[in-house]
Amino acid sequence: MKVEANKVNALVVKPNLVVTVRDNEGNDNALVVAYAGNCSYDPPMIMMGIVPSRYSHHMIKENGSFVVHLLDESQTELYECCGSKSGRDSDKLKDYGVELTDGVKVNAGVITKCPVAIECTVVDSIMTGSHEMFIGKVEYVHAEKESLLEDGKIDLSKLNLM
Ligand SMILES: Cc1cc2nc3c(=O)[nH]c(=O)nc-3n(C[C@H](O)[C@H](O)[C@H](O)COP(=O)(O)O)c2cc1C
């Protein structure tokens, strides 16, 4: 049966990610991103797409940094807040009481309670249509100690991810 091209969502695996960004004045913001994935393992690169109308869009354009967070299953409220409220209307991170630390390598906030956080620097971007896809070089990875294997890889099965 024929399916219209604009109905194809089969490749949207929908990772449950929250991405943090920071503007040039040092304001932090976060949004939920489903259009994301790995796009190179050597060097390690991540791609993620932001619709230009999102408030976060100008922030990432301003300083070229972002942090991708995998969430614990207990963090559904944070996820819902970041995916439904806009930084244009309120400081959702502050309102929700999210604890942030500065990135080790990038100029963006890291949500301390997330089991995995991946700091990235934007090296390129492409307007694909609805989204601007940002290619991020992985600069630093935070992960819960209990999830690490002997070879340093993260065993996602040891985390209770959303
Ligand atoms: C499940 C889910 C997936 C989403 N995926 C994306 C995405 O890939 N790219 C995007 O720009 N917005 C996506 N959004 C929408 C933004 O997270 C949402 O509009 C957010 O409020 C934008 O915040 P901001 O205006 O502060 O940037 C998604 C929302 C949900 C609930």
Q: Which domains does the chain possess?
A: 14-158 (2.30.110.10)
> Tens of pLDDT along 13-72?
678 999 999 999 999 999 999 999 999 999 999 999 999 999 999 999 999 999 999 999
Rounded Cα distance between 123 and 135, Å, is 6
Q: Which of 9, 11, 54, 57 to mutate to test the pocket of ligand 1 (most atoms within 8 A of CB)?
A: 54
Rounded Cα distance between 13 and 35, Å, is 8
Report the largest interatomic distance among the alpha carbons of the chain, rounded to a whole angstrom: 52
Q: Which of 17, 29, 32 to mutate to test the pocket of ligand 1 (most atoms within 8 A of CB)?
A: 32
> Is residue 10 helix, strand or coil?
coil
Distance 83 CA to ligand 1 centre (A): 5
pTM here is 0.95
Cα-flanking dihedrals φ and ψ of residue 119, to 5°?
-80, 130
Is 67 in contact with 143 (CB distance < 8 Å)?
Answer: no
